[in-house]
Amino acid sequence: MSKREIIFGLFVALLIALLLSPFASSWPDGLERVAEDKGFLEKGEIEPVLVSPIPDYAWPGIDNEAIATSLSGVVGTLIVFGLGFGIAAILKKNNL
C-alpha cells in the first residue's frame, strides 16, 4: 500500500469521525438497555481499573455536545490509526 493510499484512508476515516459521530445514537446499546429494563444495571458497575481519557466523550471547556463528540471521534481515530500503523511497521520490520 502506498503512502498516498494510507493518507487518503486516514483522511476518509477522519472525515467520517468528524462529520458522522455527532449523529450517533445516544440511546443505550441492547445489552445496557436490557440491564436497565430488568433493574440490574447498577449491579454491574464497578470502580474502573483505568481512567478513561475521554469519559462519555466530554472535553473540559467544550459545552457543545456535537463538537465534543466530533473531537472525540477524531482523537480516537488518530489513536487507533497510530497504533495500527505502529504495529504494522514493527511487523514489517521483523519480516524483512
> What average pLDDT does range 57-80 have in this prediction?
91
Return mean pLDDT, the chain: 87
CB 31 within 8 Å of CB 41? no
| Confidence at residue 29, expressed as pLDDT on a 0 to 100 scale | 79
> Which residues constitute the domain of residue 49?
3-95
Distance of CA 45 to the CA centre of its chain: 21
Distance of CA 65 to the CA centre of its chain: 15
Tally of domains in the chain: 1
Contact residues for 68 (Cβ-Cβ < 8 A; gap 6+): 57, 58, 59, 62
Number of H helices, E strands in the chain: 3, 0
What pTM, to 2 d.p., does this model score?
A: 0.74
